[in-house]
């Protein structure tokens, strides 16, 4: 099980004066050249492709101007541009903890290329040399959760595939390695919330266009 402490969740009062637990809306950035080719993209600051820009605009249509108590974005260009094109840049705050996993020596390489050198390699099990360990990424993800639970209202987060998969594990109380079980498409929306008192995934990969 995860070693990260659980925190009592924040709640907001809706129009009927009923307490409503907050939701976290997770948006993976639109397509880039490397997401298209399958190259690991951590610290490399790539722009969106033209199709990625169209995907980001579709996210804005999906959200339909929905209001959030807090909007956070990764500092990397592909996330910030997705945020802007979706229509939330005026409300967004950059949070460095939302940056993608630092893949170290495997930056820019595909899984197939890595497995030629390390047969059977798995990012989730074996990690990366000279990069971040998975527990370090999970610590950042938990810090984001703690931040949004300290705010008022639902949260909208623009970030990257692997950090958001690990954040989902932290929300559910799962070990970060279980992020291997989730797939988040580019420009997809996933929401985390509650069923009664239990933290759950309430929406997975909504709105993704490929």
Query: What residues act catalytically?
Result: 29, 100
Instruction: Please say whether the dihedral angle defined by the alpha carbons of residues 201, 9, 97 and 178, taken in this order, is positive or negative.
Output: negative
Q: Are 28 and 186 spatial neighbours (Cβ–Cβ below 8 Å)?
A: yes
Spatial distance between the Cα atoms of 75 and 93, rounded to a whole number of angstroms:
9
Residues with Cβ within 8 Å of 66's Cβ and at least 6 positions away in sequence, in order, are 156
The C-alpha angle 184, 190, 145, rounded to 5 degrees, equals: 105
What torsion do the CA atoms of 103, 77, 202, 3 make, to the nearest 10 degrees? 40
Spatial distance between the Cα atoms of 36 and 137, rounded to a whole number of angstroms:
23
74 φ, ψ (degrees, to nearest 5): -60, 150
Length of the chain: 210
């Amino acid at each position: 099980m995860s070693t990260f402490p659980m925190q009592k969740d924040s709640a907001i009062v809706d129009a009927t004066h009923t307490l409503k637990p907050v939701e976290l809306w997770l948006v993976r950035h639109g397509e880039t050249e490397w997401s298209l080719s399958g190259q690991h993209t951590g610290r490399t600051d790539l722009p969106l492709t033209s199709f990625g820009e169209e995907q980001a605009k579709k996210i804005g249509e999906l959200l339909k101007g929905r209001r959030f108590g807090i909007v956070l974005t990764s500092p990397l260009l592909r996330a910030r541009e997705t945020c802007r094109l979706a229509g939330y840049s005026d409300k967004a705050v950059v949070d460095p903890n939302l940056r993608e996993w630092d893949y170290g020596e495997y930056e820019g390489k595909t899984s197939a290329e890595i497995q030629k050198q390390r047969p059977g390699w798995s990012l989730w099990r074996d990690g990366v040399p000279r990069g971040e360990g998975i527990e370090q990424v999970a610590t950042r993800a938990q810090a984001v959760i703690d931040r949004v639970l300290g705010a008022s209202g639902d949260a909208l987060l623009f970030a990257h595939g692997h950090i958001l998969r690990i954040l989902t594990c932290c929300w559910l109380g799962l070990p970060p390695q279980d992020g291997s079980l989730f797939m988040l498409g580019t420009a997809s929306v996933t929401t985390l919330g509650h069923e009664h008192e239990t933290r759950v995934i309430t929406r997975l990969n909504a709105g993704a266009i490929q």
